[in-house]
Structure 1
Amino acid sequence: MATNLPPCVISNRDPVSVLMEHGQTREVTVDFTECTRTGPAHNSRFHTAALVNGKRFAEGHGTSKKNAKKIAAELALDRLYKVASRNLKDANQIVAENVELSEEEGEQPEPLSPAQKIKAMAKGVFELAEETQMIYFCKEKVVAAFLMERNGQQTVVALGTGNRSVLYQNLKSDGTCIIQAHAEIVARRAFVRFLYNELDRFVEGEKNPIFTRSNTGKLSLVDGVKFHLYISRPPCGDASAFPTIGSKDVRSKALRKQGVLRTLVADGEGAIPTDSVLPAGHNGEERLRVMTCSDKICRWNVVGVQGALLSHIMEPIYLSSVVIGSYSGDQKEHVPRAVFGRLKTGALDEKIYNPYMVNSPSLYYPEDHDLDNYALNKSRQYSVIWTIGDEGVEVIDGIFGTKISGPTDMAYSAISKKHFFTLFHQICTKFGRRDLLGKSYLQIKDKASEYRRNQDVLYQHFVSKKLGTWCSVSENYDVDNFYL
């Protein structure tokens, strides 16, 4: 059952082991004081304290040495979690001050570029988010973050980690399942939650809203507000399918497959073209097919990152830039094609209906000396999600698509379709859009006519350029036909 308690408290793992792992991963010392005994022999009490980096963090009292040590570790982890949560709430201010300080003290050979600042902010906030994880810590993670730029100031508003998708047998049709727990996808969903929060601020008339009323009657971004996407490595799919190309024959063969739409194979086994037959899994069970992150980012550059539901309320929101933290081999050549290059063939821009467009975000890569560690081992199936304002992260089990822990009391994820549908109903009530109430999630998506029309034009473009057919989870698995 999901809870807002720290993961270390609700897990079945020994808290002493978790605390020791915490010390190892963060390179701090963890120790316990010698256990003392008080009281009569028939009713003794044992006492010990947990020390983190030499600091006395918590004392444990129990009926045995083992019990006292376990309680001390649990209390220490709980305190570490609360400290980390407070830091996460002020993450952007803390990281921005550290970045500014490093520049002032000359730790950088020259002032950071805007793209380098985006990367520094994203990585800094992620590291603070990691501090709240404890048991789910894993260095080998794909990280994605959405940043808002306003008057030159960059703020991380949403982030996510992970590289797993739900297994077919764990799929649910009630809107509670997180189907694709890849970093870019869950970060985008965390960003959508940020947009709902900003819509509330707009309705309540709070200062400095990011929205203004446009001449179409919908909301649009105020001047000076931009959004950027940071990804620690090239997105899965077309951007990552060709990390190295060797001989001329191999290159010629690979060229025929570049640009095609791809679907992920369940449990992180790669991606295959949508026109390929997906083999059954072990024991003949069915596998889920879901589009890769490369393809979804490409779609965002036509229909926007706000999604179908919010397109009823606002005009499309496009990314101003995409910053890649690392790459391998010649992946640098493939990212532009995967992210927006496939949209430039033919005359797609002439077929898209206003206010939608074919967006070409600026694309930045790190210098060779600034490359992140690219190695990505077989990581755990957990995804970490955070939206600005949250004091803690939400943890998702990517294979089951379920929430394990988080800052809210809901049993299901704050980035699930069910929760978004609830928020959408609340916003529609506040905006007087009662025509959008009382329908299923799928009916509301279909009713977003401008969004759907441009999405169809995009899908037809892919087919006409022999790049494949879009594989819709909604149509293939009937996961959107639910009501509140």
Structure 2
Amino acid sequence: MLRSSSPQTLDGVLWAEAAFSAALCQYYALPKKGKPQGRESTVLAAFLLSSPENPLNPTILSLATGTKCLGAARLGPRGDIVHDAHAEVIARRALLRLIYAEIGTDNPPSWLVASGADGRWRLKDGHQLHLYITQLPCGVMPVPPSPLEVRREQLDTMVNGCSDVGFVQRKPGRGDTTLSVSCFDKITRWCVVGIQGALLSHILEPLYLSTITIGQSSDGAPEGFCIEDNVVKVLGARLSCLSSKFPDPFKPNKPLFFEAPVPPKEFQQTSGDIPPLTCGYSMCWNKSGLHEVVLGTTGRKQGTSSKAASSPSTESLLCKIRLAEAFVSLEHPLVTKFRHEKLSYRAIKDMACEYQQMLELLRKAPFFARWRAKPASVDSFTVPR
């Protein structure tokens, strides 16, 4: 059992088994389309909801598989492709899609509640959000930094008094270098600004994770590695550099970490003389009925032909422009203003002032010195009204 903060009433062993069982049960209930075949393997991630009435019987809100992301040369200016198809990232976007679907209906969701004079949504009291992953998120075991980057970290330590927090890492891959940072770095970001993102922060208070449950490796942990030292303490050190700088409504969030049973073979990386073979597809699902398969090397839906590569019909519901469309279509007093004029995706994000203020503090922290923003053109597309 692995904890990251003060003890809670939740029993770690029972919770890890409950999260593991719920995620796998939902995964196997889905069709084979987009799942690993033969020797292929993938990563599975799921966002779960627990309630005070039955805390050990979680509901799966969203889940996804995937291990691929696009290189810098493949980034598009129209917001119509999925740049990062790692399981954790896709599962989060599927969760955002669920939130749009549920708060956009006449029947409000059972786990969110509108509060305050402006009708901003928040997580219902007593309910908790959780993340389950079949293996350690990428970036936990980083690639050694260059001498220049080592010198930069030393300078940051001298100036800010923060050390041993780890560098931001780009996702691993061959060929064209990606600009997407590791899943561990994105999880750190979620612990600071929440998982809701800039758009939803206009109408939703920060959503934080209560627990992160990680599947054990069939080969055991690498020598000298333990989650307590290599994940929990690093995350805690990162957050400690920001602990006195959190403006409302944000707060430092340290989720509890638990170890789940070893996942099935299709979620295990091969070892020894057999070269690894990862599935190229990313499958996603959420509780509102979303079920989609994206080819991770193109960022478009499975089955897209070369002739129709730029057709709107090939766009994933999780790409930026489709999520932005879902946002501006919401009937909410804080969203209506975005339909009165043509605005870029970047402009709508920047208008979430509190969110951007917190994000700027995060990017100035020593451990995020290597977080390089993507080209401005990536977010400059106009959001359809």
Contact 2:34/2:282 (8 A) holds in 1: no
Contact 1:315/1:355 (8 A) holds in 2: yes
| Structure 2 counterpart of 1:345 | 240
Contact 1:259/1:337 (8 A) holds in 2: no
Letter in 1 for 2:64: G
Letter in 1 for 2:231: V
| Structure 2 counterpart of 1:142 | 43
User: 1:357-378: CA deviations, max 9, x gaps?
Assistant: 1100111013xxx323542423
**Structure 1 residue 336: deviation in Å?**
1.4
**Structure 1 residue 116: deviation in Å?**
1.2
For 1:402 and 1:164, how far apart are their aligned partners in 2? 12
Q: Normalized against structure 2, the TM-score is what? A: 0.78
Which residue among 277, 282, 294 is the counterpart of 1:396? 294
For 1:315 and 1:398, how far apart are their aligned partners in 2? 31
Contact 1:263/1:471 (8 A) holds in 2: no
| Residues 165-184 of structure 1: pairs in structure 2 closer than 5 A | 165-184=69-88
**Structure 1 residue 136: deviation in Å?**
6.1
Flag the 1:223–1:412 CA change in 2: closer, same or farther, 3 A.
same
**Structure 1 residue 199: deviation in Å?**
1.1
Contact 1:323/1:364 (8 A) holds in 2: yes
For 1:384 and 1:207, how far apart are their aligned partners in 2? 24
Which residue among 373, 377, 384 is the counterpart of 1:472? 373
Report which stretch shifted further, 186-195 or 324-333: 324-333
For 2:239 and 2:35, how far apart are their aligned partners in 1? 45
For 1:138 and 1:395, how far apart are their aligned partners in 2? 19
| Structure 2 counterpart of 1:60 | none
| CA RMSD after TM alignment | 2.8
Q: Which has the larger radius of gyration?
A: 1
Q: Secondary structure at the match of 2:213?
A: strand
**Structure 1 residue 381: deviation in Å?**
1.6
User: 1:314-339: CA deviations, max 9, x gaps?
Assistant: 1100001000012432142312145x
Contact 2:118/2:333 (8 A) holds in 1: no
User: Is residue 292 from structure 1 mapped to residue 193 from structure 2 by the alignment?
Assistant: no
For 2:104 and 2:182, how far apart are their aligned partners in 1? 32
Report which stretch shifted further, 323-332 or 288-297: 323-332
More helix by share: 1
User: Is residue 371 from structure 1 mapped to residue 257 from structure 2 by the alignment?
Assistant: no
Flag the 1:158–1:205 CA change in 2: closer, same or farther, 3 A.
closer
Listed as ranges, the gaps of 5+ residues in structure 1 are 1-110, 243-255, 270-280
Contact 2:170/2:178 (8 A) holds in 1: no
| Residues 27-66 of structure 1: pairs in structure 2 closer than 5 A | none
Flag the 1:207–1:178 CA change in 2: closer, same or farther, 3 A.
closer
**Structure 1 residue 458: deviation in Å?**
1.1
**Structure 1 residue 413: deviation in Å?**
0.5
User: Is residue 413 from structure 1 mapped to residue 311 from structure 2 by the alignment?
Assistant: no
Flag the 1:123–1:430 CA change in 2: closer, same or farther, 3 A.
same
**Structure 1 residue 209: deviation in Å?**
5.4
**Structure 1 residue 210: deviation in Å?**
2.1
Letter in 2 for 1:189: R
**Structure 1 residue 220: deviation in Å?**
1.1
User: 1:124-169: CA deviations, max 9, x gaps?
Assistant: 1112225344786765111100011123241111111111111334
User: 1:400-433: CA deviations, max 9, x gaps?
Assistant: 1111169xx9431011111111111111x44363
Which residue among 18, 27, 34 is the counterpart of 1:126? 27
| Structure 2 counterpart of 1:354 | 248
For 2:60 and 2:109, how far apart are their aligned partners in 1? 19
Which residue among 149, 160, 171 is the counterpart of 2:64? 160
User: Is residue 208 from structure 1 mapped to residue 110 from structure 2 by the alignment?
Assistant: yes
For 2:314 and 2:101, how far apart are their aligned partners in 1? 20
Flag the 1:337–1:295 CA change in 2: closer, same or farther, 3 A.
farther
User: Is residue 263 from structure 1 mapped to residue 170 from structure 2 by the alignment?
Assistant: yes
Contact 1:160/1:187 (8 A) holds in 2: yes
**Structure 1 residue 390: deviation in Å?**
2.0
Contact 1:259/1:342 (8 A) holds in 2: no
Q: Secondary structure at the match of 2:104?
A: helix
User: Is residue 306 from structure 1 mapped to residue 196 from structure 2 by the alignment?
Assistant: yes
Q: Normalized against structure 1, the TM-score is what? A: 0.63
Contact 2:62/2:92 (8 A) holds in 1: yes
User: 1:86-115: CA deviations, max 9, x gaps?
Assistant: xxxxxxxxxxxxxxxxxxxxxxxxx97122
Letter in 1 for 2:130: H
User: 1:200-225: CA deviations, max 9, x gaps?
Assistant: 13xx1447352221366421111122
| Structure 2 counterpart of 1:380 | 279
**Structure 1 residue 467: deviation in Å?**
5.3
Flag the 1:355–1:166 CA change in 2: closer, same or farther, 3 A.
same
User: 1:263-314: CA deviations, max 9, x gaps?
Assistant: 124xx24xxxxxxxxxxx4xxxx63321110100000001000000000011
For 1:260 and 1:135, how far apart are their aligned partners in 2? 32
**Structure 1 residue 175: deviation in Å?**
1.0
| Structure 2 counterpart of 1:444 | 348
Letter in 2 for 1:353: P
Identical amino acids, percent of aligned pairs: 28
